[in-house]
Amino acid sequence: MAKVLMKGNEALGEAAVRAGCRFFFGYPITPQSELPHYLAQRLPEVGGLFLQAESEVAAINMVYGAAGAGARVMTSSSSVGISLKMEGISYIAGAELPCVIVNVVRGGPGLGGIQPAQSDYFQAVKGGGHGDYHLLVLAPASVQEMVDLMAKAFDLADKYRNPVMVLADGILGQMMEPVEFPAEILQELPAKPWATDGARGRGPNLINSLYLEPEKLEEHNHRLFEKYRQMQEQETMAENYHTDDAEVVVAAYGSTARIAKAAVDMARKEGIKAGLFRPVTLYPFPTEEINQACAKAKQVLAVEMSMGQMIEDVKLSLNCRLPVSFYGRVGGMVPSTRAVYNEISALAQKGGEQA
C-alpha cells in the first residue's frame, strides 16, 4: 500500500480496523478525540460498531463484556479518563480478557492540562488499579510505529488473554507522518472457545475475577504472574541507537525518545559517545536489552515528560550499577533537543562519577 499522511490518533484507528478490531467503546477527551471521530465513521463501513459510552467507567465495562463475548475490542482515552477505568482494567486483567486500551497522555494531576505528557507511566506499568496485575504496555515513538504496535497489541492481547495498553501522548496523537498500513484487513481471528456466546452444544463458560477462597485466589495470582514471566521472556522490545560504544546512554520512550535521538545526533557531532536506549515495551521492561545497551556506559540519563517515573525501572533493571540521572519537563512542557544535549554533554564530562 502507498504511504498516506495521517494523524497519529487516526492512524491508530485505521490500524485497529486492519487488525480485525470491530468494536470501540469510549468517551470523548482531548487530545485523543480524532481516534473516536475516525472510528465513528470507519467502523460502520466494515460492519463494526462504534459506541460512545456514557462515561469512561461504562466504556471499560462494555469492553469487558465485549471481550468476554469473544470480540476484538478497544477503548481509548487520556489520563483523567484512564484513571476512571482503573477498577475496570483490574477486572479485565483479573478475568484475563484480551483488549486494547489507548492512553494519549496529557498533563496532570487532576484536570491538569491538555498538552502532551508522560506522567501516567507508573499507572500504566505498576498497575494503577488495585491488586497484583500488569498490563502489557507498548510505547510507540512515531505514527508508523503506532500502526505497527496497534496490530501487535491485538495479537498480544489474544495470545496472553491480557489487556494491552498503547501509551502515547498528545504529540504522537496529534502529529502527522507518512504511514503504510498492512494491505489486508484481517478477517480471520483466533478462536476463543472460552468466550460467552451462548452455551451452544457445550458446558457454560464463565468470565470472572472473583475467588472467595484465598487459596484459589493465590493460585490465580500465580497463574497471572506466570504469564507475566513469559512476557518478560518473549515479548520485550527496545530500540538501540548508537549504543554500541556509548558512554552516555539516554533512556527515553515515546515522543521524548525522538527528542533524545536528535540530542544524541547533536552530541555525536560534538564527538561525545552518546547513545539512545528506547524501551518499546514499558511492561515488561526490556531489562536484558538495557543492560546490553549500557555495556560501555558510564552514565545513564533518563529523560521523561514527567517528574521521574521510568527512571525507577531503569535503575532497577541496571541493578543500580551505573549512575542514573534525570531530566524531565512536565505539565505539557516538552524538553528541547538542546536541553537534553546539554545534559548529555555535562554527563560526558563527568565520566563514571556518581551523578
Partner 1 sequence: MITIYERPQSLTANTMHYCPGCTHGIIHRLVAEVIDELDLREDTVGVCPVGCSVLAYNYFNLDMQQAAHGRAPAVATGIKRVHPAKVVFAYQGDGDLASIGAAEIVHAAARGEKISVIFVNNAIYGMTGGQMAPTTLIGQETTTSPNGRDAAVQGYPIRVAEMLATLEGSAYISRVSVHNNVNVIKAKAAIKKAFQTQLEGKGFSLVEILSTCPTNWGLTPLEAAKWLENNMIPYYPLGEFKAAKEVGS
Partner 2 sequence: MLEEVVLAGFGGQGVMSMGQLLAYAGMLEDKHVAWIPSYGPEMRGGTANCSVTISTEPISSPIITEPGTAIVLNKPSLDKFAPLVKPGGILLINSSLIDPGYFRPGIKIFEIPANDLALEMGNTRVANMVLLGAFIELTSAVSIDSVIESLKKVLPEYRHNLIPLNRAALEKGQQIAQNQ
Rounded CA-CA distance 147/11 in Å is 6
123 alpha carbon, distance to own chain's centre: 11
Check: CB of residue 190 under 8 Å from CB of residue 158.
yes
Please give the angle made by the CA atoms of 55, 101 and 219, to the nearest 5 degrees.
105
Rounded CA-CA distance 352/299 in Å is 6
Give the residue, chosen from 1, 41, 44, 87, that forms a contact with its own copies under the rule CB under 8 A.
87
Does position 170 interact with partner 2 (CB under 8 A)? The reply is yes
Which 47-106 residues touch ligand TPP, going by CB under 6 A?
56, 80-81, 84
How many chain residues are in contact with its own copies, going by CB under 8 A? Answer: 68
Reading across the β-sheet that carries 99-105, which strands appear in turn? 49-52, 23-26, 73-77, 99-105, 163-169, 136-138, 281-283
Rounded CA-CA distance 340/334 in Å is 11
Does position 115 interact with its own copies (CB under 8 A)? The reply is yes
Which 12-31 residues touch partner 2, going by CB under 8 A?
30-31
What residues contact 284, with CB distance under 8 A and at least 6 apart?
134, 136, 228, 231, 232, 235, 236
Stretch that binds its own copies, among 181-189, 202-210, 245-253, 260-268 (CB under 8 A): 202-210
Does position 9 interact with partner 2 (CB under 8 A)? The reply is no
Which 187-246 residues touch partner 2, going by CB under 8 A?
212
Dihedral sign for Cα 283, 286, 291, 295, please: negative
Binding mask 33-62 for its own copies (x = CB under 8 A): ------------------------x-----
Binding mask 101-120 for partner 2 (x = CB under 8 A): -------------x------
What residues contact 109, with CB distance under 8 A and at least 6 apart?
119
Give the residue, chosen from 28, 65, 112, 113, that forms a contact with ligand TPP under the rule CB under 6 A.
28
Binding site for partner 1 (CB under 8 A): 23, 25, 27-30, 33, 36-37, 40-41, 44, 49-59, 61-71, 73, 80, 87-88, 91, 95, 110-111, 196-201, 204-210
Binding site for ligand TPP (CB under 6 A): 27-29, 56, 80-81, 84
